[in-house]
Amino acid sequence: MTDALKRAAVTLRIIGDDLNPQEISNFLGSEPRRGVCKGEAFLGHNGQERAARTGLWYFGGDYWEDAPDIGCQITTLLSRLTQDLEIWRSVTNRFHCFVSVAGYFHDWTGGLTLEADVLRLLAERGLHIDFDLYAPAASEPEHRP
């Protein structure tokens, strides 16, 4: 359940110095949005070429507009990858793996609830979750503490 979210994106991020993106793709059964080895050149969000400080494998990240549902987005993301929990444990034991949620509220307040079944999916795979939540009105001078 989400309260007052305008839009949200959910991304699986796997990071590690010895990460090989093709190996992760083979394990998880899908190609990443971005996959690079440590030191490899790639285009950053600003369009500038840069060298990866560590290996990266990012999957998902599409924004849901209007009525985003974080739980549904996580479930959909994980359904597109292997369901073999032994493979997940192998990957999460070797690399820093987490689900990143970027959410934008309509107003300066709101909340999120993750249902038990979504939390179970994350826990079974050894994934933690990171929330980046933005409230545009809160950055206006009259709303600052």
Domain count, the chain: 1
Torsion of CA 33, 35, 40, 46, to 10 degrees: 20
Q: Residue 4 to residues 35, 135, 142: CA-CA distances in angstroms?
A: 33, 10, 20
Domain range for 125: 2-143
- For each of the chain's 145 residues, which pLDDT tens digit applies? 455 788 899 999 999 999 999 999 999 999 999 999 999 998 877 888 999 999 999 999 998 887 789 999 999 999 999 999 999 999 999 999 999 999 888 776 677 889 999 999 999 999 999 998 887 765 555 544 4
